[in-house]
Amino acid sequence: MAKESVENLCLKAQRAIKEGDNELARRLYLQALGLKSDSPDIHYGLATVCFLLGDLTSAAHHFKEVTRLDPLRAGAFINLGAVYNRLGQLDDAIPVLRRGIQIDSNRGEGYYNLGLAYRRKGQSDLAIQAYREAVRVNPRMPDAHYNLGNLYMEKEQFGLAATHYQQALDLRPNWEKADHGLQRAEAAQSPAPKKGVAAEEGPTAPPPTLDPERIVDPTLHAALLSTLHKATIESEGHGRGFLKILESEIEPAIKELSSCLLYPDSSATEIDACVQKFESAIANMRSIQRSLQHTMERVRTVGDQLLKS
């Protein structure tokens, strides 16, 4: 019986990973490695499977082999650094992560893992620098924004902390930890009452009501009316933009993503592209939603001013 080719073994291993059978994938990659021990691609596949199986020591060994056989593969250095982080080998993680970033400075995950390593070593300034580079290269990294929020909280830079917690929430809505961090940061920015002085409680003013007999004076209220009119038009424009994004971006992105997920033969690159397109559409929708909310707040504020004048 003829031996299977390296290519067939690797294809079977990749198929096994897609089907969730990582143990089978490891056996297949090991067979392929027996036929071609100097292949960086086989070592990379084997390292990935070992990582998925929780065998971090073996994953580190094979990623290290990739860096030896293919010393310009940035992803291998970055993944090796990530595994060293998991193993707590921070002094090993930092130089390989820096090497991966040196090869490819556009890898946000490289800066992110470097930030993790510096943070765990207690080097908060270097950690902040690394996380800031991570979100510069890839602004859509909620964990990096969240970690920046935590670091700025420790430095009592509450405004910056609140900004990054909010960005984390924009990217991952309803994230409880980020929401809790945002509340703490906002509370820390509120001025505390002076010691020994109790806050006075006065009568609560009733909400303004509209007098049906009241006449709006165009001369007196011209500025407020003009501002209210502009804000109302802006709100209408944002509303139309919101619907347009739903129809022209969100719906097509969902269809493409569903198609990729329904057909297992789709390549990882195709799926990643669909996911990125979907996430971009969601980000656009949230952006216009925030603009609409901001404009509606202006409408309410101007309306209140008009009622009180």
| Distance, CA of 6 to CA of 13 (rounded, Å) | 11
**CATH fold of 6-189:** 1.25.40
**pLDDT tens for residues 68-123?**
999 999 999 999 999 999 999 999 999 999 999 999 999 999 999 999 999 999 99
> In the block, which residue shows the tokens 């009241």?
214
Residue length, the chain? 309
Q: What is the DSSP string of 84-119?
A: HHHHT-HHHHHHHHHHHHHH-TT-HHHHHHHHHHHH
**pLDDT tens for residues 134-185?**
999 999 999 999 999 999 999 999 999 999 999 999 999 999 999 999 999 9
| Distance, CA of 214 to CA of 193 (rounded, Å) | 40
Q: What is the pTM of this model?
A: 0.61
By C-alpha distance, which of 286, 302, 285, 289 is closest to 235?
289
Bin 66: left if φ > 0, else alpha if -120 < ψ < 50, else beta: alpha
pLDDT averaged over the chain?
81
Element (H, E) at 232: helix 218-245
Distances (CA, A) of 224 to 74, 211, 219: 58, 18, 10
> In the block, which residue shows the tokens 């998991």?
86
| Distance, CA of 188 to CA of 156 (rounded, Å) | 8
Domain ranges of the chain: 6-189, 218-308
pLDDT, residue 206, reads: 47
**pLDDT tens for residues 240-254?**
776 777 777 777 777
> In the block, which residue shows the tokens 């501002």?
227
